[in-house]
Amino acid sequence: MPEKRVSADRPVTQEREQYHLEVKEGDVASTVIVPGDPGRVEKISSQWDEASEVARHRQFVTHTGKYKNAPISACSTGIGGPGAAIVVEELANVGARNFLRVGSTATLKPDIEIGDLIISTGAVRLEGTSRQYVRQEYPASPSYEFILALIEAAESLGVTYHLGLSASTDSFYLGQSRPGFQGYTQSFSEQLITDLTKANVANFEMEAATIFTLGNIYGFRTGAVCAVYANRVRNEFEVKGEKDVIRCGNEAVKILHEMDEEKGDKEKKYWMRGL
């Protein structure tokens, strides 16, 4: 018989098992990689030194283990802001404090190649989930430490990467300037790529703005790195770079762990090279 939930406001069990993710305290590390694709979780954890599946429910698959001495978890969000917000909320309820999106993206830059990586330095909030939390003018920005960790990871792995602003949308089709069924479109959709390119936006994706916004509201560290599957300016598409983006994400978690150890040794709140 299913265990009774505490209340409608707090739909967790007495043991604090979360409603959607079905994880509880002790199941996840403080740092969690959050891909959209449930199938990517196993690909991520296959590179760890230790890994076990702790939960699987709906679109949410959660693994926990260790990577090069760093405690680590991975949990899929599914596509878009609503699932990403659920993951951040429920993982935070059981102890997670650092969230790294590892996914795929479409670039708006003609000089970025398929298979390259893009590390997000901020996100345009074209999605709707973050608007349920705070006014639209509030910035969606990642943690500087995750940006530094991702740069160091990419450099150490020798992968090609770029830094830039992402645009997070709720729609893969009209929301990213693609026609809908039978060619349906709107003028705002047709103009979107031109407008974002003029504003120096690097890529489309669907979860970063929600993750960054919630991270800043709650005081968590967040980041995002995506493999480029599409170049919208050159109208090219190929599934390429997934292995590199996974390697970069795992390595960044290890580097973040080392940053935290160094800060602890020096009794410092913030990190810089040579601390």
Bin 182: left if φ > 0, else alpha if -120 < ψ < 50, else beta: left
CA atoms within 13 A on the CB side of 75: 34
Residue carrying structure tokens 């969690």: 32
**Residue 165: strand pairing partners:** 122, 201
Compute the distance between CA of residue 212 and CA of residue 140 in angstroms, rounded to an integer: 5
Residues 100, 230, 45, 244, CA torsion sign: negative
Bin 16: left if φ > 0, else alpha if -120 < ψ < 50, else beta: left
Q: φ and ψ at 10, to 5 degrees?
A: -130, 80
Residues carrying an active site annotation: 20, 90, 178, 232
Output the DSSP codes for 83-125.
HHHHHHHHHHHTT--EEEEEEEEEE--TTPPTT-EEEEEEEEE
